[in-house]
Structure 1
Amino acid sequence: MNAITRFLLDRSSEPRLEAPAPPKAVLDLAFKCAARAPDHALLRPWRYLVVEGIARAELGELFAATCPEGASDQEQEKARKSPLRAPMVIVGIATPRPHPKVPEIEQVMSAAAGMTLLSLALSDAGYGAMWRTGAVAYHPAVLKGLGLAEGESIVGFLYTGTVASAKPEVPRPACSDYVEDWAGPGLSNPWPI
């Protein structure tokens, strides 16, 4: 097994993050890796916002504004504090544009692939990352507050920083649980692994 495969098999989401956040040089390299995502027609259908310091509290205010009417103070405070769980939050934004050969969904998937590569590059540099979405990623108040244009969408919030503590190993499914051979219409057979 080569080092890349071992790295991928060891990858995990890291929910316990603390300062320091990745420095600019590490971020720049990670964003260069993100730009290597599959990108049909080289549309570059993505952009990123880096949220640090006091801006995380402002992001928390946007999150709190998404709480439904009648939400408890505790629910609002939980939403408000959410971006403070890491020293940096990177917002991944899909920026699809009309193209005769590249449907919008392919462009959104390209942006999501970029987030994956960004996460892997940060992990390789020794930082932890946790990709989060939830209702806040789709709420109009958050989209407007972050300055998204019409047609843009959030593919995720990548929380990143230094791993504060190890977490238990997460059990992984066997390939046979989610992979099967396809032999033609109506002839699909489970993959014998």
Structure 2
Amino acid sequence: MAKKGSAADAMLRRRSHSSVGDEAPSDKELLRAIEVAGTVADHAALRPWRVIAIRGEARERVGRAIAEDSGATGSDAEKLARKPLRAPLLLAVVVSPKPSAKVPDWEQEAVASGVAHALSLLLDEAGWGVMWRTGHYTRSGAVHRAHELAPDERLLGWLYVGSKPEKKSGKRKPVTAKKHLSSL
């Protein structure tokens, strides 16, 4: 079993929370978590990522963009527009690629993904409920504009963050490591 307080313990304990409460971390708490998450392996220290905190009415703007790009109408569009309201805080994780002859674009996107995962672990450890949400909307035009992304930036997804629900998430099925490890 993993030593209590270890990275392995944090990873084994973490669960996604599809439903969270109305409280959210302060900007001060977020800054510290982002500072720590930003220490992930990053070839050439390019820091090809950024995080956008989305609170309050800004979540409605994101919801409208999701609904717009879906092509849905009526109640289907309204349902999509309400998705970002499921948490008091959304953290949009953005790949912000830097010009580099050494570090390819895919590797820069991997760094941003690493930051998102580390951030989810840190927020969970601090007692917050977190769910990483993705989908085809992350690469749509209206959503891109709603986040005010630069032309070369890409949205990886959102960490939905709020207070942990009373109800515990179920146990995660263990990984059969032998199926994922090979040797040459």
TM score, norm. by length of structure 2 = 0.92
- Distance in 2 separating the partners of 1:149 and 1:141: 13
1:34-113 matches, within 5 Å, as 34-68=37-71, 71-113=72-114
- Distance in 2 separating the partners of 1:64 and 1:134: 13
C-alpha displacement of 1:72: 3.9
Where 1:148 maps in the other structure, the secondary structure is coil
> Percent identity of the aligned residues?
32
AA partner of residue 50 (structure 1): A
1:1-193 matches, within 5 Å, as 1-3=2-4, 4=6, 5-68=8-71, 71-164=72-165, 165-177=167-179, 179-183=180-184
- Distance in 2 separating the partners of 1:79 and 1:140: 16
Q: Does structure 2 conserve the Cα–Cα contact (< 8 Å) formed by 1:26 and 1:125?
A: no
C-alpha displacement of 1:18: 1.2
| 1:30-52, Cα deviation, whole Å (9 max, x unpaired) | 11112112111111101111001
AA partner of residue 43 (structure 1): L
- Distance in 2 separating the partners of 1:88 and 1:135: 21
| 1:4-46, Cα deviation, whole Å (9 max, x unpaired) | 1222111111111111101222211111112112111111101
**Structure 1: gaps of 5 or more residues:** 184-193
Q: Pairwise CA RMSD of aligned residues?
A: 1.3
Where 2:94 maps in the other structure, the secondary structure is strand
Q: Does structure 1 conserve the Cα–Cα contact (< 8 Å) formed by 2:67 and 2:80?
A: yes
AA partner of residue 177 (structure 2): C
Q: In terms of Rg, which structure is larger?
A: 1
C-alpha displacement of 1:2: 1.6
| 1:85-108, Cα deviation, whole Å (9 max, x unpaired) | 111000000011221100011111
Number of aligned residue pairs: 180
Where 1:48 maps in the other structure, the secondary structure is strand
